Amino acid sequence: MNVKDLLDLKGKVILVSGGAGSYGKSIVEGLGEAGGTVITASRNLTNGQAVAQAFRAKGLDVHAMQVDQGIHESVLSLKTKILKSFGKLDVFVNNAVARPMKGYEDSIENFAESMRINATGMMDILREMCDLLGKNGGGSVINISSMMGMYGPDLSNYEGTDMGNPPPDYFFHNGGLINLTRYLAKLMAGKNIRVNCVSPGGLFNNQPVRFLENYNKKVPVGRLANHDDIKGLMVLLASDAGAYINGENILMDGGLNA
Ligand SMILES: NC(=O)c1ccc[n+]([C@@H]2O[C@H](COP(=O)([O-])OP(=O)(O)OC[C@H]3O[C@@H](n4cnc5c(N)ncnc54)[C@H](O)[C@@H]3O)[C@@H](O)[C@H]2O)c1
C-alpha cells in the first residue's frame, strides 16, 4: 500500500480529550489535516466549540463535545454522544490533564484532586473508550504523557525565574501512564487495539526569557517544541502506517534527554 494512503485518516473518527488546550489544539489540527473527523472533548464546551469552529473555518472536520473525565456519568454520556453522532470511534488521544497542584509544598488535597482527574478519571475514560474501539473492531489509543514522566526535573531550568518548583503529581501520574500503556497494549491483544504513548518535552508558551535561555541551550535542536512538532507523530500512531507500533513510549524532546 502507498505510504500516503497508509497515513490517510479519512473515514476515521478520532476523539482528543483536552483538545482545546496547548498541545491538544496542535493534535486536533494535525489529525484533522490528515483527513480525520476529530472530536475535541473537555470540561468547557464553549472553549471546545471555539476551537472546533476555528478549524472548521480552515476546512477541517472538527467537532466539540463536553466531558469531565472525573465524573463517570459524564464519560458515559460522551460515549453515547459519540455513538449517536458518528456511529463509531477509531482513535482515542488521551491528552487531557488537570493541574490543581502548583509545586512541592502545595496541599495534599490538591494532590488528591489531581489523582481524581489524572489517575482515576483518566483510567475511567481510557477503559470506556477502549470499549468503544473494541466494539468497532479495533483502533488506536495514543496516551500523552511527558518527558517529566520519564525523568526527574532539571531544577536549573527555573534558576533566575519566579516559576517555583514543578508539582510532584505531574511526575507521578505521567510516569504511571507510560507503564499503563504497556499494560493496556498487552491486555488489548486480540481486540485489534494498539496502545502507545508519546512523552513530549516543553511546548513554547511565552515562558519567561530566563527560563527559555536556561532550557534552550540544553536542547540539541535549540528550542522548545512548536505547534507543528507533535502533528506527524500523532498521524503516524493514529493511522495504518503505525500498524506495527504497539506498547511503545516515544520521547519527543528535541534531543534534550539524549
Ligand atoms: N504543555 C507542555 O509543555 C507539555 C509538555 C509535555 C507534556 N505535556 C502533556 O500534554 C498533555 C496536554 O497538556 P497541555 O499543556 O496541552 O494542557 P493544558 O492545561 O493546556 O490543557 C489541558 C486540557 O485538559 C482539559 N481538562 C482538564 N481537566 C479535565 C477534566 N476533568 N475532564 C476533561 N478535560 C479536562 C482542559 O479543559 C484542557 O482542555 C498532557 O498530557 C501533558 O502532560 C504538555
For the Cβ of 20 lying below 6 angstroms from any atom of ligand 1, the answer is yes
Report which protein residue has its CA nearest ligand 1's atom 28.
98
Tell me the domain boundaries of the chain.
Answer: 3-250
Give domain 3-250's CATH architecture.
Answer: 3-Layer(aba) Sandwich (3.40)
Mean pLDDT for 49-57 is: 98
Mean pLDDT for 147-155 is: 98
Give the chain's mean pLDDT.
98
- Percentage of the chain surpassing pLDDT 90? 100
In the beta sheet, which residues pair with residue 91? 14, 140
For the Cβ of 202 lying below 6 angstroms from any atom of ligand 1, the answer is yes
Instruction: Tell me the per-residue pLDDT of 29-49, one tens digit each, with 9 for 90 and over.
Output: 999 999 999 999 999 999 999
In the beta sheet, which residues pair with residue 193? 139
Closest ligand 1 atom to residue 225 Cα is 3
Instruction: Tell me the per-residue pLDDT of 156-176, one tens digit each, with 9 for 90 and over.
Output: 999 999 999 999 999 999 999
So what's the pLDDT on residue 102? 96
23, 38, 45, best to mutate for ligand 1 pocket (most atoms within 8 Å of CB): 23
134 backbone dihedrals φ, ψ, rounded to 5°: -60, -40
- The set of cell numbers assigned to 47 is 472553549
17, 22, 211, 253, best to mutate for ligand 1 pocket (most atoms within 8 Å of CB): 22
Spatial separation of the C-alpha atoms in residues 66 and 42, rounded to whole Å: 5
Q: How many helices (H) and strands (E) does the chain have?
A: 9, 7
Spatial separation of the C-alpha atoms in residues 257 and 112, rounded to whole Å: 30
For the Cβ of 66 lying below 6 angstroms from any atom of ligand 1, the answer is no
DSSP three-state, residue 234:
helix
- The set of cell numbers assigned to 114 is 489531581
So what's the pLDDT on residue 93? 99
